[in-house]
Amino acid sequence: MLAFLKRSLWQRVITLFLISVIAFLIIHLAPGSPAEICPLNPKFTHEDIERLREALGLDKPLPVQYALFYKRLFTGELRSFKDGQPVLGKIWERFLNSLPLFVVGTILTWFLAFPLGIKAALKRESFFDRATTFFAYLLIALPAFFLAYLLIIFVVQRFDVSVMGMTTFGIEDAPWAFRWNNRLWHLLLPSILGAAGGIAILSRFVRSQMLEIINQDYIRTAKAKGLPEDTVYYKHALGNALMPFITMFGLVLPALIGGSVIIEYIFAWPGMGRLGYEAIMARDFPVIISLNFIAALLTLMGTFLSDILYMLVDPRIRL
């Protein structure tokens, strides 16, 4: 058991190291010196390159550059090109802003997808199954950025509330009930959007997983024992069907950054995704590299967590 953990941890350390190298090297895809600027690539100006050279020590040999960059990142010395603020502080601040979106979205996703998927599987071919299948396909195919505007048009015209940003500007002096109500309205749409695709995909996964388990021999055994249906499905089948989702649970963390770019962009939500978008627009390389690196770190932590969970839940690994 400990050996399994040690192996799993060791693998992740190696992966993290390689990721840190790759995240760092991405920057070298950019033109290295002012002279190398391709006249066809209007994205880089001479100042950009100069700033890059200075901040990252591009004159020094690669290993030194690498060490220098991560030393600065972890000691908090690394500063944004855009406003000179420490990168870690910036990211932390935006992380806190993203958190409510992420938490509400994740809760919506997991608490809706599982009952829906399980019910669809148990009532295969029923009206409920066909209806959820139809909506799942529709939601998977609807681009988030299109659905967002459909929802905005609907909510704004129907309820006449503003939905952009985290709160409506200039209501700091309003009574607390009003402010909370306002915050909730602002939180609602982006969370639903963040969850929509996830609910569709996850509920399909749950359904097919559940269907596969229901057809296993041991479910027939449980029925042959004369156990009531609820015990057969919710104890014997669900327990097995949930296993693969432990892995998926480990992968929700990185969605904090990658999954939220579009939604935070549309709703002008000052979170991690929008920070990434702004950094890319401003060629703020310290922030870009750090975000990539931190996202990878979160993923590795998530998958490590799911490994541990697996070990606790699945007797076949618990040796």
Partner 1 sequence: MKAKMVNSPGSQPENLSLIHQTRGQEFWRTFKRNKLALTGMVVLGFFFLTALTGLFLTYGREPFFNPRTVRLADRLRPPLSRPHRTIPEENRPRFGIYILGTDDLGRDVFARMLQGAVVSLSVGFVAVGISLFIGMILGGIAGYFAEVKLLKGVTVDDVIARLIDIMLCFPVFFLILTLIAILPGNIWMIMIVIGITGWTGAARFVRAEFFTLKNQDFVIAAEALGIPRRRIIFKHMMPNALAPVLVAAIIGIPGAILTEAALSFLGFGVPPPHATWGNILAVGRRFIFDAPWIIFSPGAAILLTVLSFNLFGEGLREALNPKLRIR
Partner 2 sequence: MRDESKNNGPLLEIKNLQTHFFTNEGLVKAVDGLDLEIFSRETSGLVGESGCGKTVTALSIMGLLPSPGKITQGSITLQGRDLTQLPERKLQKIRGKEIAMIFQEPMTSLNPIFTVGHQVEEAIIFHQGKSRKEAREITREMFGKVELPSPEERMNEYPHQLSGGMKQRVMIAMALSCQPKLLIADEPTTALDVTIQQGILALLNKLQDEHSLAILFITHDLGVISQVANRIAVMYAAKIVECAQAGEIFRNPHHPYTLGLLNSIPKIGGGEKRLPAIPGQLPNPLVPVKGCRFHPRCFFVKDYCLEKEPPLAEIAPGHKTACWRHSEIKAQSN
Select from 39, 42, 61, 315 the one that contacts partner 2 (CB under 8 A). 315
Q: State the nearest-atom distance from the C-beta of 185 to partner 1, in Å.
A: 18
Question: Site size for partner 2, by CB under 8 A?
Answer: 24
Residue 139 vs 241, nearer CB to partner 2:
241
Select from 95, 283, 304, 305 the one that contacts partner 1 (CB under 8 A). 283
Return the sign of the alpha-carbon dihedral for residues 208, 209, 210, 213.
Answer: positive
Instruction: Check binding of 120 to partner 2 (CB under 8 A).
Output: no
Convert residues 140-159 into a mask of x (bound to partner 1 by CB under 8 A) and - (unbound). xxxxxxx--xx-xx--xx--
Instruction: Check binding of 131 to partner 1 (CB under 8 A).
Output: no
Select from 185, 205, 245, 277 the one that contacts partner 1 (CB under 8 A). 277
Q: How long is the chain?
A: 319
Separation between Cα atoms, residue 55 and residue 198, nearest integer Å: 39
Convert residues 22-41 into a mask of x (bound to partner 1 by CB under 8 A) and - (unbound). xx--xx-xx-------x-xx
Please name which of 242, 220, 222 lies closest in space to residue 231, comparing C-alpha atoms.
Answer: 222
Q: State the nearest-atom distance from the C-beta of 125 to partner 2, in Å.
A: 8
Q: What angle do CA 231, 233, 234 make, to 5 degrees?
A: 70
Q: State the nearest-atom distance from the C-beta of 3 to partner 2, in Å.
A: 18
Buried-state track 210-244, b at ≥16 Cβ within 10 A, e below 16: bbebbeeeebeebeeeeeeeeebbeebbbebbbee
Select from 17, 111, 218, 234 the one that contacts partner 2 (CB under 8 A). 218
What residue spans of the chain are helical by DSSP H?
2-25, 46-56, 62-75, 87-122, 127-141, 144-159, 176-214, 217-224, 229-230, 238-241, 243-250, 255-258, 261-266, 272-281, 285-313
For residue 280, the tally of other CB atoms under 10 A from its CB is: 14
CB under 5 to 8 A by kind: which of partner 1, partner 2, none does 257 bind? partner 1
Instruction: Check binding of 138 to partner 1 (CB under 8 A).
Output: yes
Instruction: Check binding of 295 to partner 1 (CB under 8 A).
Output: yes
Residue 186 vs 236, nearer CB to partner 2:
236
Q: Which tokens sit at 67?
A: 């060490």
Separation between Cα atoms, residue 241 and residue 224, nearest integer Å: 20
Residue 240 vs 303, nearer CB to partner 2:
240
Q: State the nearest-atom distance from the C-beta of 183 to partner 2, in Å.
A: 42
Convert residues 231-250 into a mask of x (bound to partner 2 by CB under 8 A) and - (unbound). x----x--xx--x-------
Separation between Cα atoms, residue 132 and residue 68, nearest integer Å: 53
CB under 5 to 8 A by kind: which of partner 1, partner 2, none does 228 bind? partner 2
CB 49 within 8 A of CB 37: yes
Return the sign of the alpha-carbon dihedral for residues 52, 56, 60, 66.
Answer: negative
Tell me which DSSP letter residue 205 carries: H
Site of interaction with partner 2 (CB under 8 A): 124, 215-218, 220-229, 231, 236, 239-240, 243, 313-316
Where does this chain bind partner 1 (CB under 8 A)?
11, 14-15, 18-19, 22-23, 26-27, 29-30, 38, 40-41, 43, 124, 137-138, 140-146, 149-150, 152-153, 156-157, 208, 211, 215, 254-255, 257-259, 261-262, 265-266, 273, 276-277, 280-281, 283, 288, 291-292, 295-296, 299-300
